[in-house]
């Protein structure tokens, strides 16, 4: 769990990180602490672009979009969101 993504701007190991910047924690305990404090989250393990492209190239149902959102963002989509909102959140045109 040493590969992390900054959730908000902060300084770590002489670097100024912005929200969304990826970085490697110096130790597992540092990684756990940064996640617990809400300053970072675990980096996605699989390429996200592949899922978004696969979803955009075919007619999909809401379950496929929710699965793509979970893979890309690392959290469940809001249950109130419809197909149009999920497509907007994922950056899929159409």
Q: Are residues 7 and 35 in the same domain?
A: yes
pLDDT one-digit tens code per residue, 42-82:
887 654 454 454 544 455 678 888 888 988 888 989 989 88
pTM, whole model, 2 decimals?
A: 0.47
Q: Are residues 35 and 7 in the same domain?
A: yes
How many other CB atoms are found less than 10 A from the CB of residue 24? 11
How many other CB atoms are found less than 10 A from the CB of residue 40? 26
Q: Are residues 68 and 85 in the same domain?
A: yes
Q: Are residues 59 and 74 in the same domain?
A: yes
Q: Are residues 37 and 65 in the same domain?
A: no
pLDDT one-digit tens code per residue, 82-91:
888 988 898 8
What is the total count of domains within the chain?
A: 2
Full residue range of the structural domain in which residue 71 is found = 48-90
Q: Are residues 7 and 32 in the same domain?
A: yes
**Residue 19 and residue 47: Cα distance in Å, rounded?**
19
């Amino acid at each position: 769990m040493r590969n992390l993504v900054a959730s908000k701007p902060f300084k770590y190991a002489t670097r100024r990180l912005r929200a969304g910047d990826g970085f490697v924690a110096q130790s597992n305990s540092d990684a756990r602490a940064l996640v617990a404090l809400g300053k970072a989250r675990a980096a996605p393990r699989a390429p996200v672009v592949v899922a978004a492209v696969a979803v955009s190239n075919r007619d999909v149902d809401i379950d496929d979009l929710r699965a793509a959102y979970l893979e890309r963002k690392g959290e469940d989509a809001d249950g109130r969101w419809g197909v149009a909102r999920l497509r907007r959140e994922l950056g899929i045109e159409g």
